[in-house]
Amino acid sequence: MDQMSHYTKPIFDMPSMYDLALEPENEENENRIGLDRYKKSLTFVRYALQLEAIDDGWLYEQKGALLNQLQRYREAVDAFEQALQLGYAKDSWLYEQKIFALINLKSYEEALETCMEALVLPQPNEGWIYGQKGYILACQGKYFEALKEYTRAVEYSSADQGWIYGQRGHVLNRLKRYDEALISFEKALTLGYKRGWVYGKVGLTLLRLERYDEGLNAFEQALKRGYHAGGVIDWQYGYTLTSLRRFPEALEAYQQALSLGHRGSFWIYVLKAHALNNLKMYSEALDALTEAFEHGCKSGWAYWLRGYAFINLKRYADALSAFEEALGLNYKDSGNVYGQRGYALLKLERYEEALSAFNSALETDGANSGWLYAKKGYALNQLKRYCEALEAFEQALQAGYTEKGWVYGQQGHALINIQHYNDALTAFESALTLGYVNKGWTYGRKSYVLANLQRHEESNEAQKIARTLGYYG
């Protein structure tokens, strides 16, 4: 979370070198040039403290401010304490500097006490101080209290109102009050506080509201401003692209997140695997999932993705093991797991187990019922339970299963075996009309039916076509 950095007056009102230290000439040299100048400034302050002609309290204040810039916060706090012991506190600026240092030291209770001390000064910078109180309370996870302080802070005219509205939006996000959070972020942006982290938070909020197109735009604005948050924004950008089924771009975003060192969560590897599966890059998906498991992943969905990749690589026994892991982790989409498990068992010719898996899937997975009934029918055909198979195929068609030609072909096979030749002929003709890809087998079965119906010329013609297509069964 971005902390407000606010100064109400220059750190050191002496040579121009100190002003340059505060505002480096360009961002690329900020760390090198800025830190060198701060160190030089600190040397002069230390020298000045040896002289008696300069107000020591003021010098300790300046020393503390310079130490803040050098991120030596504990020494900065000590310097501010020395200034206060000498009775030097002309305005709230010294307290603000001390609060800033204490926040960076995560000394939140002491920082809150200092805020209270600053508020009783003759002319406190109230908007800034209440904003810092809100920030401190948010860091402690006290979001309701933080919200009250931010609401109080925006009542004061302050140059920091954009920052305050941004932080207020962050707190509202934490409280899952997403619509209000968006309003607060929008206010920050309207006030000209167009920081990358604000756009990043807007993107995260919109993602939670499943407003993916808007979220995508917000993440792009954050990234354009160089805000990556250690790869977190790239990761969430990728997740948004995944939700929009833009898998090649999502994969690039996940790779970027990893290149920035974002390895704090196994989820990025799982999401990468999901994108790779959708791009039919199954071996690469398995590599990504291996990374996820090495990072402590115990997700049922990850094991389902692993099983899915194995199925597409025709590694059915491995797929079964993965699906067993998914079910053992109580993966919520168990219907999908049972369905894929049944498919793997079909390929391994373990038809009784496949049938049981499809039945389990149908108890929970209504969305894929057409596919499940079709595969169930196939298992029943292999078990020579033809009447039950016909019922399953009929249910597949009623559920809108798209591969109707395949279903009619399987129906025809069942009908032959119960000697319903006229119905079988109708089924095979429907399969051919619908463009069923296994035409050689279908013409061969049609020839067999026609022969049993004593229609020998038509049977011979169908047989010739079957042989032309390479079928000799």
pLDDT digits (tens, 9 = 90+) for 383-398: 999 999 999 999 999 9
Contact between 347 and 310 (Cβ < 8 Å): no
Q: For 390-424, b where at least 16 C-beta lie within 10 A, e where not — what string?
A: bbbbebbeebebeebbbbbbbbbbbbbeeebbebb
Q: Is 327 inside a domain boundary? A: no
Where helices occur in 264-385 by DSSP H, the ranges are 267-278, 282-294, 300-312, 316-328, 334-347, 351-364, 369-382
| Residue 266 vs residue 384, higher pLDDT | 384
Model pLDDT, residue 11: 31
Tokens of 123: 């002319």
Report the pLDDT averaged over residues 88-97. 85
CA distance 132 to 100: 8
Q: Is 135 inside a domain boundary? A: no
Q: How far is CA 382 from CA 126, 320, 334, 466, in A?
A: 80, 20, 25, 23
Percentage of residues of the chain with pLDDT beyond 70:
87
Backbone angles phi, psi at 437, to 5 degrees: -70, -30
CA distance 363 to 336: 11
Q: Is 73 inside a domain boundary? A: no
Q: How far is CA 467 from CA 190, 443, 444, 461, in A?
A: 74, 9, 8, 10
Tokens of 359: 């039945």
Residue 450 parent element (H or E): helix 439-452
Tokens of 329: 């982790």
Residue 448's domain spans which residues? Answer: 403-473
Name the most confidently modeled range: 9-13, 55-59, 152-156, 273-277: 273-277
Helix (H, G, I), strand (E, B) or coil at 400: coil
Domain count, the chain: 1
Contact between 344 and 333 (Cβ < 8 Å): no
pTM, whole model, 2 decimals?
0.77
Amino acid found at 327: L
Q: Is 470 inside a domain boundary? A: yes
What is residue 28's DSSP assignment? G
Going by pLDDT thresholds of 50, 70 and 90, the confidence category of residue 220 is very high
Q: For 268-296, b where at least 16 C-beta lie within 10 A, e where not — what string?
A: bbbbbbbbbbeeebbebbbebbebbbeee
Say how many CA atoms lie within 13 Å of 419 toward its Cβ: 1
Q: Is 416 inside a domain boundary? A: yes
Q: Is 457 inside a domain boundary? A: yes
Amino acid found at 91: D
Model pLDDT, residue 263: 65
Percentage of residues of the chain with pLDDT beyond 90:
74
CATH number of domain containing 437? 1.25.40.10
Average pLDDT over all residues of the chain: 87
Taking alpha carbons only, the member of 197, 212, 204, 161 closest to residue 182 is 204
Q: Is 147 inside a domain boundary? A: no
Q: What is the pLDDT of residues 106-153, one digit of tens each?
A: 999 999 999 999 999 988 999 999 999 999 999 999 999 999 999 999
Q: How far is CA 373 from CA 357, 385, 426, in A?
A: 12, 14, 21
Model pLDDT, residue 466: 92
Q: Is 58 inside a domain boundary? A: no
Tokens of 201: 């938070």
